[in-house]
Chains A and B, each alone.
Chain A
Amino acid sequence: MKKYRWLALCLAVVMCFGMLAGCGGSGDAPAETEAAGETEAAAEGGDEAAAPASGDQVTIKFVHKFPEENRMKFFEEVVANFEAANPNIKIEMTAYGDEEIKDKTRVLLGSADAPDIYFTWSGERITQYVDTGNTLDISSYLEEDSAWKDSFNPVMLEACNKNGSYWCVPWDYSSKEMVYNKAVFEAAGITEVPTTWAQLLEDCEKIKAAGYVPIAMGNQYPWVVCHYLTSLNDKMVPKDVIAKNYSLEDPNFTDPGYAQAMDLVKELYDKEYFNQDANSATWEMSQSMVQEGKAGMIYEEVQNLVNYNSALGEEGWGYFDLPEVEGAAGETGYITGGPDVFMVNSASAHPDEAITFLKYITSDEVQSKMAYELGFLPATKVELDPAQCCPGIVDIIEKNLNAPGMSEWLDCVLNQTVSETWLEGCQTIFADDDGAAVMEKVTATAVEVKEDME
């Protein structure tokens, strides 16, 4: 009996120790701390103390947001080519979807499993990681290699400039075009693409009368309407007002142009020019509607044009700029969009290797491969062969280069809390709210956020 009691006691003690070991940090934790210290030294001094010994293989954790089959295949090829040319660097790649990566990056950066290179969008999405010290200042790398710096489209590179330093590199960028199905236009008797908002409404009426959905709308995730507003705010509101509001220098979004922009979108829904299940339809569903000839138009990102070319054939589709609003107080001709960028984690143990990889994926070789195979717009000045590109891409790149500037995605350029309120309004305008009601909520949130900042 006594023997069993001692055995039970020993087991209980073992359980306690096992539990405490489970609650403690992993055995890797001290190494992580050490690595972070090395990074700091390397970043500050630029010395070679942190560099791995020659022949040692280092692993770079790389997180991006292109998990789709063809895009993942592209990245796998790029990584394989890079690893073949750089046998001492192993790339550990993980991809998350569009929505998932917004949360995932935040969680990963706060964990011991933080990536060395991570994806983000531009605007406030860069600032949030810069302000919290999660991003390596890569200005010195760009200055040291001026050819690399000069290879970028300056508008895209400047999106990475905060407080006079560069914190990331652009990899590609996207802009918006109104894509249309030529068969639907023909069935509705439309022979020319609209250039004014009034003409757009007339054409929508014709398409609706012909039995089609005029404009496909998949607003389950409301960034879709938000993209319309990115463009329309520019057309409806003076640039100086926008600059002050977006930066929250003036948190009062009281310029009537903002509400009018929302009401223009609401009108498209109220007149049944959008499919009426807009708020529950996914973005992919809306794309299919145009590709299957059920809808006439869609406000689409240029990087997806290749899908319409595959589905409808070269002669089956076309594109035009979102029409101008007559008499509006804003500017015309701006690019609606923004770059996709990659940042190097300030806690990375291998910043030099991370930069080597970034140089490779922004090289002419990879940038042109990206344009030819994926239909993405390069973030560099690489010269493309039009014959290998999706129709329209080269013309759009040329047009964008001559644009007066870029209006970055509204949900990226704004403070995230203000952006979330606006995004909610992007759905409620299809119900009870109108532009003015939404903008009141946006202003209330912006004022609160600004007070909180102060």
Chain B
Amino acid sequence: MSALKRNRMAVLVFLAPAVILVGLLVFFPVLLNIYYSLFKWTAYSADMKFVGLKYYQKLFSDPKIALSIKNNVMYAVVSLIFQTGLGLIIAHLFVTFANTKYAAITRVVIFIPAVISLTAIGLLWVIAYNPSLGFVNAILEAAGLGRFAHDWLGDANTAMMSIIMVSQWQYIGEMVMLYTVGLQAVPTDIYEAATIDGASNWQTFLHVTVPMIRSTILMNMTITIIGAFMVFDEVYVMTSGGPGGATETLATLMYETGFRKDNMGYASAIGVLLFLITFAFSFIQMRLYNVNEMMGRSKES
């Protein structure tokens, strides 16, 4: 530490590239976006008209914002249940039964969708959901559930959930992999101790596994929630926000407002809202993580 203090200049020089990079690539665009949200302008014109906080007032009265946030929240809740919750259970089963010959292959299979391009996935599911061409309704018919066959993406009531389920299919494998890495880092002697103490599998999972990988769970939750609020590609490829705007999310609404309705100022304001939401979730996660870290340290001491 004293050596570092002596070489303060060297410390500053080493830190400078990272600080300047983060400042220019992260903080400066955020500030610039706030500045742009105070003007009326288009992507292809240098003319900018100052409108003050008008677009922020509009955020509160625009029914499309409310619908988009509702869709994003629905996305986040379902993703938390499937990716963070079910993903953990699947990962736990994989690790617990790691010796079985099918575990490795199943882990690969479940991870494959995560490495396929989102556009390809979107187009694939557009066809899969299509009532006359797709396999979703065909499977329902074959299973004797023909009465549930539906125009999944064409009906405003089912379109959003149909898109959300594609995301679960795609990303649950990624979550399982992240959990698996976390679970494999848990020392086996703790499990042995729990077994000697007579803990059941469920008790071991709840009182040993979950606390030991709490930081991984928190991280995955944050990734999932932030991802849910920034979702764009799946919606854009599968419905473009339709039918009738029913699958609009904050990101697609921002894009449509900026590039279709030529209102980049309002799109910037939506961007600020999106930033605040994702920043809030990140902040909460960091606080929780730090508190737990501190609690862990105080217990150790």
Assess whether A220 is in contact with B242, with CB atoms less than 8 Å apart: yes
**7 nearest CB pairs, A to B:** A280-B154, A428-B244, A279-B154, A132-B45, A109-B44, A427-B243, A279-B243
Residues of A in contact, count (CB < 8 Å): 45
What is the 8 Å Cβ interface bit string for chain A, positions 274-315, against chain B (1 contact, 0 not)? 011111110001000000000000000000000000000000
**Are A16 and B17 closer than 8 Å at their CB atoms?**
yes
**Docked CA distance A8–B130 (Å):** 59
Cβ-defined contact, B17 with A19, below 8 A = yes
A417 near B263 with CB under 8 A, answer yes
Judge whether A428 and B243 touch: CB under 8 Å.
yes
Q: Is A154 positioned at the interface, with any CB of B under 8 Å from its CB?
A: no
Given contacts A13-B13, A110-B43, contact A427 B244 (CB under 8 A): yes
Cβ–Cβ < 8 Å partners of B43 in chain A: 106-107, 109-110
Interface residues on B, range: 35 or more
Q: Provide a sorted-by-A list of 6 A–B residue pairs whose CB atoms are within 8 angstroms.
A: A16-B16, A19-B24, A280-B131, A280-B152, A427-B242, A427-B243
Q: Is the CB of B261 within 8 A of A106?
A: no
Shortest Cβ distance from A216 into chain B, in angstroms?
A: 11
Task: Known contacts A8-B14, A277-B132, A428-B156; decide if A221 and B240 are in contact (CB<8 Å).
Answer: yes
Whether B245 pairs with A424 at a CB distance below 8 angstroms is yes
Q: Report yes or no: B16 in contact with A12, Cβ–Cβ below 8 A.
A: yes
Chain A neighbourhood of B154, CB < 8 A: 220, 277-281, 430
Besides A16-B17, A23-B24, 11 new A-B residue pairs in contact (Cβ under 8 A), listed by A number: A16-B16, A107-B43, A222-B242, A279-B151, A281-B132, A281-B154, A420-B256, A424-B245, A427-B243, A431-B156, A433-B244
Bound complex: CA of A57 vs CA of B11, how far in Å?
53
- The smallest C-beta distance from A279 to any residue of chain B, in angstroms, reads 4
Check if B42 is an interface residue, CB within 8 A of chain A.
yes
| Docked pose: A424 CA to B21 CA in angstroms | 42
In the bound assembly, the distance between CA atoms of A281 and B256 in angstroms comes to: 21
| Residue from B131, B243, B262 with most neighbouring chain A CB atoms (10 Å) | B243
Question: Are B42 and A106 in touch, CB under 8 angstroms?
Answer: yes
Which of A8, A16, A134, A279 makes the CB contact (< 8 A) with B155? Answer: A279
CB-CB under 8 A from A134, the residues of chain B are: 44-45
* B 123-138 to A, binary, CB cutoff 8 A, 1 in contact else 0: 0001001111100000
A56 beta carbon closer than 8 Å to chain B: no
Task: Say whether B91 faces chain A, with CB atoms less than 8 Å apart.
Answer: no
Q: Which residue of B lies closest to A109 (CB)?
A: B44
Contacts of B243 in A (CB 8 A): 279-280, 427-428, 430-431
Residues of chain A whose beta carbon lies under 8 Å from any beta carbon of chain B: 5, 8-9, 12-13, 15-16, 19, 23, 99, 102-103, 105-107, 109-110, 128-129, 132-134, 220-222, 275-281, 285, 416-417, 420, 424-425, 427-428, 430-433, 452
The B interface is mostly helix, strand or loop, or mixed, namely loop
- Give A277 Cβ to nearest chain B Cβ, in Å: 4
Identify which of B126, B129, B262 contacts A416 (C-beta below 8 A).
Answer: B262
Distance between Cα atoms of A411 and B129 in the complex (Å): 28
Q: How far is the CA of A8 from the CA of B43 in the complex (A)?
A: 42
What's the minimum C-beta distance from A113 to chain B, rounded to whole angstroms? 13
User: Shortest Cβ distance from B264 into chain A, in angstroms?
Assistant: 9
Please give the distance in Å from A10's CB to the nearest CB on chain B.
10
Known contacts: A280-B129, A416-B262. The answer to whether A424 contacts B242 by CB under 8 A is: yes
Q: How far is the CA of A340 from the CA of B280 in the complex (A)?
A: 47
Other-chain contact of A132, B21, B47, B129, B263 (Cβ < 8 Å): B47
Given the known interface contacts A132-B45, A420-B256, the answer about A431 and B244 at a Cβ–Cβ threshold of 8 Å is yes
Report the nearest A residue to B40, measured CB to CB: A452
The CA-CA distance from A110 to B47 in the complex, in Å, is 12
**Smallest beta-carbon distance A1→chain B, Å:** 11
Within 8 A of A (CB), among B17-42: 17, 20-21, 24, 40, 42
Complex CA gap A200/B195 in Å reads 77
A424 touches B244 (CB 8 A): yes
What is the chain B residue whose CB lies nearest that of A104? B259
CB distance from B149 to the nearest CB of A (A): 11
CB pair B262–A106 under 8 Å, yes or no, is: yes
Is B262's CB under 8 angstroms from A281's CB? no
Contacts of B126 in A (CB 8 A): 280
CA distance A285 to B129 in the complex (A): 14
Q: Does B10 contact A (CB under 8 A)?
A: yes
Contact B151–A103 (Cβ < 8 Å): no
Does B250 interact with chain A (Cβ within 8 Å)?
Answer: no
Question: With A106-B262, A417-B263, A425-B244 given, is the CB distance from A280 to B153 under 8 Å?
Answer: yes
Chain A residues whose C-beta falls within 8 Å of the C-beta of B260 in the assembled complex: 102-103, 416, 420
Nearest CB in chain B: distance from A257 CB, A: 22
Q: Which residues from chain B contact A12 at a C-beta distance below 8 Å?
A: 13-14, 16-17
A residues near B17, Cβ cutoff 8 Å = 12, 15-16, 19
Q: A276 and B244: CB pair below 8 A? A: no
* Nearest Cβ on chain B to A280's Cβ, whole angstroms: 3
CB pair B259 A277 closer than 8 Å: no
Q: Would A129 and B151 count as touching, CB distance under 8 A? A: no
The distance in angstroms between the C-alpha atoms of A389 and B18, with both chains bound, is 65
Q: Find out whether the CB atom of A9 lies under 8 angstroms from the CB atom of B20.
A: no
Q: Name B131-147 residues within 8 Å CB distance of A.
A: 131-133
**Given the complex of chains A and B, what is the CA–CA distance between A417 and B266 in angstroms?**
12
Chain A residues with CB under 8 Å of B263's CB are: 417
Q: How far apart are the CA atoms of A91 and B8 in the complex, in Å?
A: 57
- CB pair A133–B24 under 8 Å, yes or no, is no
